[in-house]
Every structure is written in structure tokens, then in C-alpha cells.
Amino acid sequence: MADEHEKTGDDGRTARVEPLPIWFFVGLILGTYGLIILVAGLVGDERPTVLAEIRPALWWSAIMITAGAVLTAVGFLGHRRSQRKVDP
Amino acid sequence: MPAMATIQLQFVDWLIIGLYFVAIIGIGLYLKRFTKTGEDFFLAGRRNSSWVAGLAFLSANLGALEILGWTGGTMKYGMFVSHFYWVGAIPAMIFLGLYMMPFYYSSRIHSVPGYLKLRFDEKTRLLNAFSFAVMTLLMSGINLYLMALVLRTILGWDWHLSMWAAAAAVGCYITLGGLMSAIFTEIVQFFLIWFGLFLVAILGVVELGGLDQVFAGLPDAMSRLWATSGDAAANSMGVTWAGIVMGLGFVLSFGYWTTDFLVVQRAFSSKDLRSARLTPITASFFKMALPFIIVVAGLVAYKLSLMPGSGFTLLPHPETGEPWNDTALPLLIARYYPAGLVGLGVTALLAGFMAGQAGNISAFNTVWTYDIYRVLFKKDASDAHLVWVGRVTTIIGILLSVGTAYLAMQFNTIMDYIQAIFSWVNAPLFATMLLGMFWKRTTSAGAFWGLIAGMAVSFAVFLGFKLELFGPGLTYALTFSESPSAMSCNLWQAIWAWAVCFGLTILISAVTEPKPAEELTGLVKGLTARADDSAHGLLGRPVFWAAISLAVLIVLNAVFW
């Protein structure tokens, strides 16, 4: 019986299934944090901070969401490509 | 003294911190499915690219203590702090990648002590394994204690709760996924630190009116790298260029980056030799970028502290009552960050603390399992048994770390010994490794007794300075300074430990019998096939990226000379 992290191809050969790459998880975390910070930035903060007028939460969260989306896509597509090689 | 919180957390900040704990435990649970063999648990399956291994290599070194400590240190030492990121790191990382990694990686060892066994003998391996195990546990415990101290001061968190919560989370994900879990969380930490803390430096520069304004009006001792290094009295670090180049740039830096298993283990997890060689070279670029967070934020804090009406005042140290430089970065977070971003900044610091502890524990469980347990207690242990031992060792290591943290809480002078421990273990080991890898005449007796002598000298020099046992003549002979700073003493302690180990190893090797050449194949220069990168284009060759890294280092030093 094949191990739970192994796949058996049509030719009967067993190949190792790789975990999702770290970029996928980093992307998810950054994207989620970016969305939370964006919402918090839109709601606003009663506590006065220096440079509040340039709204750092808004543009920094936009950068985080973009980076998160790119890393999630890179991780997911890279993983799918490597799985195709395992089981053509 | 009651805890004084400087950062007020709101619901959204707690949400971000809570999600981090959920994410890292979730990653550990996910990776457990892929962690079956010893190679999976201790070396992350040797499947990593140079990017993954490189970022983990850097992050294993990048703890929150370092970030807080050197941001605060910049308020005292100015641009001199950059030496720890540039000349004090990059040449060693490149040397590891280009010249030492082929010997490490090709011998398929699990640990640095494992190389000492192959190259020399069992007793040299055990000597290094025990000293490394003691060092990692002490470092892990001190890291935990300082984390609790910082969190109590800036957030008002309970000592015991923050120590046990962080230790439990680290213990949980390392036990589940081994080194792969540690590497994943180290890379998450790397991104959190950049996204969570770089904004502090950016906003600081914006508030002061631009980068040129950050440097405007600073004395040369604060704003230049080398200009004041001709005279130890002319810079606040109290060291000359010779101390920086020989002590920091050569002995301490090479000793740490090329032999400390905590960082080198990440390169061992690479999928092939070329990726392993590229690992420290990739990391070198990100290492060079760190002063753009740490030193810039430190200089911003320094200038704000001098500006009347800026409202920026360092918190007092909870034990000494003196202004505590380590609070500079948290104070900047409180100054600039609104709700949400505060949570991100605090999570970045938490991640830095926890990844630092995870790095120590994952290196400790490997050295204990392969270099101590298997050697002394169960030579014929199966692979499955070693994985079980690794998991149990992780839990025991975590508990010992917590115990060390409580010890540090009771006897906080223990922290004065951090630098001494590094010099004790790493500085002489670098001499042993250098001779072992590049001089085939080096003998097992020479390596063992050289290492013992180097460690003894390191300890003696440390005690001599600490207890003020040395007269003015000996002090000058050891440091080339009549009143050396503590930093200068540390650097020269490492230099002497290295020099004694290096010299004695050569002397003893000259009169003892070396191993036959056939036993040294793959372990020593001249008896090891050269790494062949000819199948790869220019962009795939480690030597090309090493040259670029060195060029960037030279430019940075020239710009801030």
C-alpha cells in the first residue's frame, strides 16, 4: 500500500508527493493580514499616531495584499506543476 | 516595579496575534504527514531550494533580540552596528558557500559534529556535540527570558504566561514537523519582520524629512563606518579597525557562520550541492539589507530622542532603572502604527522570538540524537527510533529552556556570558574546521587538544577580564588598548581562542600520525572532487552570485565609509 504522501502512477511506479511550498502559506498569511489591516484602516483608529494623515494602514495593506496574492499563486501553481510531473 | 505597557492592543491586534499562533500550529500539523523518516525530521527531507534554505539560514540567526538589541544599539554605536551585518557576516557566508559547503554536504552528514567524527574521531565529535548542546539550551532559555522581559515591559504581559505559551507553541510545531516546521516558520518570520518592521523605518524617515535629514548633524562616530576606526577612543564602540576586521570580520564571524550548526543545518536541508552552496550566498543579500530596518530605525530613534518636544523617551529598564535602548523599536511602533499595524509589528517580534527558539531546539534535537544518544546509548538504533528520540528530545529541550529562563530570571548576570559562550564554542572550532578541511596533515590528536586549549584560553581570557585579574601590561598585550571596552574584550577573547587552537593544532599535528589519505576522501581539499557548475549558465553558478554579493558589500562600505 502506498504511503499517504506517495502517489502511484499509471505505470505502477510510486512517487513522493511534495508538501505545498512555503510560498503558498506565506502568501495566505500576508494576504489575510493585509485584508484585516485594510478593514481596520478604513474603520480608523481613535488613538492619535504620528503621520496618521498619510494613512499608512491603507497603502501598506494594499502592498501586503498584492504580495500575498502573488506568493499564493506562485506556491499553488508551482505545486500543481510538480504534481503533474509525479502523475502525468 | 509594576509593569508599564507602552503599546495598547485593540481587538484587531489580538486577532492578528491569535491568527499567527493558529497558522504556525496548523503548518506543523500539515507537515507531520510528510515527516516520516530521520532525514525528513532532522534535515527536512533534503528537498529545499536555495531560496527556501537561504531565507531559513538567515532567519535562524535573525531573532527578535537581535532586532531590538541592535536598533537600541544604534542609538549608542551609530553606523558601527552595520559592521555586524556587512563585514561581520558577508565574507564568512560567501566563504561557507564557495569553499566549505562541498565538504559538509558531500559527506552526507546530519550535523557539524558528524563532520568532526568523519574527519577526526569520536572524542572530538563528542566534545563539540556537548559544548554545542549546552550553548543552544542556554541561548534558547535566555532568549525566552528576554522575550518575557520585553513583552512585560512594552505590553504588560504576564511573565509566566508569555514564556509558557511561546515555549508550548514552539514545542508543538517542532515535535510535529521537525526541521521542516522550523524552516517554514522561519520563512514566515522573515516576511513578517520585513512587512511588520520596515514600515517603522520608512515612517521615521518621512517624519524626519528624508534619509539625508536622518544623517544630518550626526557626528562621524555615529554616521560613518570606518572613518573613526583608526583610534579606539574616537568611536563609541571603543574598537579599532584591526579589532573589527580580525575579531568580528574574521574569527567571530567565520566561527559563527561557517561552523554553528544552528545556521549550517539549514543549508544541509538543500536538495543538491549547488543549492547548498547557494544557500548562504542567497542569504547574504538579505543580511546586507537588514540595516535598512535596524540601523535606520535606530538612528531615527536617536534623533527623535534629541529633539525637544518630540515626545520620544526611552523606557527605564525594569531591573536597573536606566533608559533601556531595547525599547526604542517598540516605542516607534507605538508612535507610528494604528490599530492592526500594531498587531502586525508585535506579531513580527513574537515570530522573531519564537523562530529563534525553534532554531535552537531543532539544532539541539539533531545533535543530541545523532551525536550523543546514538553514539553513547544506542549505536544500532533504527531510523524510526531516532525520529522518536528526536521528538522526545524536542519536548525535553523545551522544558530545559524554560528552566534556563527561570534561572536567568533569578540570576540575570547569566546574560553577561552570552558572548563568552559563543567565543568559547565557535572561535576555536573555526580553527579546527579550517585546518581540518584545508590541510590534510591535520591529525585527530591535534584537532582534539587544539580545541581543548582554544576553549580553555577563551574561558581564561573571559574570566581575566570579568574579574579584573589582568594588570595594565597584560591587558594592553591582549587587546592593544589600555582601557578596552567590553566589546573590544569580547573580540580579542575570540581572536586569542582561535589563534591558540590554530597554532597548537598545527604543532601537535606536526608530531603525530595523520589519517591515511583514503579515509579523507570527500572531507579535505585536494582529496575531494571540485564542485562542477559547468552544466549551469552564469546565473546558476554560486561563484557569480558570490561576486555580486561582494561587490554590493564593497559599494555599501564605500558609500558609508
User: Three-state SS across B16-84?
Assistant: HHHHHHHHHHHHHHHHHCCCCCHHHHHHHHHCECHHHHHHHHHHHHCCHHHHHHHHHHHHHHHHHHHHH
Backbone angles phi, psi at B3, to 5 degrees: -65, 140
In this structure, chain A runs to a length of 88
Q: Which among B150, B186, B188, B166 has a CA at the least distance from the CA of B333?
A: B150
Helix (H/G/I), strand (E/B), else coil: A16: strand
Q: According to DSSP H, which parts of B234-306 are helical? A: 241-242, 253-259, 261-268, 273-289, 291-306
Cα distances (Å, whole numbers) of residue B360 to B42, B323, B456, B484: 13, 30, 24, 32
B238: which 3 cell numbers? Answer: 571603543
B514: which 3 cell numbers? Answer: 595523520
Residue with the larger pLDDT of the pair B471 and B19: B19
Residues of A in contact with B10 (CB under 8 A): 45
Angle at the Cα of B92 from the Cα atoms of B88 and B93, rounded to 5 degrees: 110
**Distance separating alpha carbons of residues B180 and B157, to the nearest angstrom:** 30
pLDDT of residue B156: 82
Q: Which residue in the set A33, A51, A63 is minimally distant from B344, CB to CB?
A: A33
Residues of B in contact with A22 (CB under 8 A): 52, 183-184, 187-188
A62: which 3 cell numbers? Answer: 494594499
**Distance separating alpha carbons of residues B111 and B262, to the nearest angstrom:** 9
The residues, ordered by sequence, that sit 6+ positions from B512 with a Cβ below 8 Å of its Cβ are: B443, B444, B445, B446
Size of interface A-B (CB pairs under 8 A): 97
B412: pLDDT confidence band, cut at 50, 70 and 90? low
B417: pLDDT confidence band, cut at 50, 70 and 90? low
Q: According to DSSP H, which parts of B90-231 are helical? A: 90-95, 101-106, 112-119, 122-155, 159-208, 211-215, 220-223
Q: Across chain B, what does the average pLDDT equal?
A: 87
Helix (H/G/I), strand (E/B), else coil: B525: coil
In this complex, do B339 and A47 lie within 8 Å of one another by their Cβ atoms? Answer: yes
Q: Which domains does chain B have, with CATH numbers?
A: 11-27+46-410+531-559 (1.20.1730.10), 413-530 (no CATH)
Mean pLDDT of B522-535: 82
- Cα B212 from chain centroid? 31
pLDDT above 90 coverage of chain B, percent = 42
**Distance separating alpha carbons of residues A38 and A57, to the nearest angstrom:** 6
Mean pLDDT of B404-418: 72
Q: Choosing among A3, A32, A51, A59, which should be mutated to test the B contact, i.e. which has the most B CBs within 10 A?
A: A51
A12: pLDDT confidence band, cut at 50, 70 and 90? low
DSSP conformational letter for A14? E
Mean pLDDT of B254-272: 88
Contact B520, B449 (CB under 8 A): no
**Distance separating alpha carbons of residues B150 and A70, to the nearest angstrom:** 34
Contact A20, A66 (CB under 8 A): no
B110: pLDDT confidence band, cut at 50, 70 and 90? confident
Q: Which among B558, B554, B430, B447 has a CA at the least distance from the CA of B504?
A: B447
Q: What is the tens place of the pLDDT at every residue in B370-391?
A: 999 999 998 888 999 999 999 9
Residue with the larger pLDDT of the pair B76 and B12: B12
Cα distances (Å, whole numbers) of residue B365 to A15, B38, B175, B189, B309: 29, 12, 10, 21, 51
A13: pLDDT confidence band, cut at 50, 70 and 90? low
pLDDT above 60 for A15: no
pLDDT of residue A4: 47
pLDDT above 60 for B175: yes
**Distance separating alpha carbons of residues B66 and B72, to the nearest angstrom:** 10
Q: What is the tens place of the pLDDT at every residue in B180-191?
A: 888 888 899 999
pLDDT above 90 for B432: yes
Q: According to DSSP H, which parts of B307-417 are helical? A: 328-336, 341-366, 374-376, 383-410
pLDDT above 60 for A14: no
Residue with the larger pLDDT of the pair A87 and B347: B347
B234: which 3 cell numbers? Answer: 574616537
B391-401 in b/e form (b: 16+ CB < 10 A) is bebbebbbebb
Measured between CA atoms, the residue of chain B closest to residue A47 is: B338
Predicted TM-score of the model (pTM): 0.88
pLDDT of residue B63: 76
pLDDT of residue B561: 86
A22 in contact with chain B, both atoms CB, cutoff 8 A: yes
Q: Which residue in the set B36, B183, B339 is minimally distant from A45, CB to CB?
A: B339
DSSP conformational letter for B541? -
Contact B46, B183 (CB under 8 A): no
B368 in contact with chain A, both atoms CB, cutoff 8 A: no
Q: What is the tens place of the pLDDT at every residue in B434-489?
A: 999 999 999 999 999 999 999 999 989 888 888 888 888 888 888 777 777 777 78
Which of B352-356, B459-463, B531-535 is most confident?
A: B459-463
DSSP conformational letter for A17? P
Q: Which residue in the set A30, A50, A54 is minimally distant from B195, CB to CB?
A: A30
B1: pLDDT confidence band, cut at 50, 70 and 90? very low
pLDDT above 70 for B3: no
Residue the block writes with cell 544541509: B268
Q: What is the tens place of the pLDDT at every residue in A28-43?
A: 999 999 999 999 999 8
B343: pLDDT confidence band, cut at 50, 70 and 90? very high
pLDDT above 50 for B121: yes
pLDDT above 80 for B154: no
Quickly count: other Cβ atoms within 10 Å of residue B230's Cβ: 11
Q: Choosing among B7, B188, B195, B202, which should be mutated to test the A contact, i.e. which has the most A CBs within 10 A?
A: B195
pLDDT above 60 for B496: yes
The residues, ordered by sequence, that sit 6+ positions from B499 with a Cβ below 8 Å of its Cβ are: B431
**Distance separating alpha carbons of residues B190 and B519, to the nearest angstrom:** 41
- Cα B349 from chain centroid? 16
Backbone angles phi, psi at A6, to 5 degrees: -125, 150
In this structure, chain B runs to a length of 561
pLDDT of residue B18: 93
Q: Which among A41, A6, A23 has a CA at the least distance from the CA of B338?
A: A41
The residues, ordered by sequence, that sit 6+ positions from B298 with a Cβ below 8 Å of its Cβ are: B70, B71, B72, B73, B74, B75, B81, B328
pLDDT of residue B423: 80
In this complex, do A57 and B207 lie within 8 Å of one another by their Cβ atoms? Answer: no
Q: Which residue in the set B15, B52, B335 is minimally distant from A49, CB to CB?
A: B335
B166: pLDDT confidence band, cut at 50, 70 and 90? confident
**Distance separating alpha carbons of residues B302 and B312, to the nearest angstrom:** 9
pLDDT of residue A2: 39
What radius of gyration, in Å, describes the C-alpha atoms of chain B?
A: 23
Q: What is the tens place of the pLDDT at every residue in B296-333?
A: 999 999 999 988 888 888 888 777 788 888 888 889 99
pLDDT above 70 for B92: yes
Residue the block writes with cell 546574560: B415
ipTM over 0.95: no
Spell out the domain ranges in chain A: 20-86
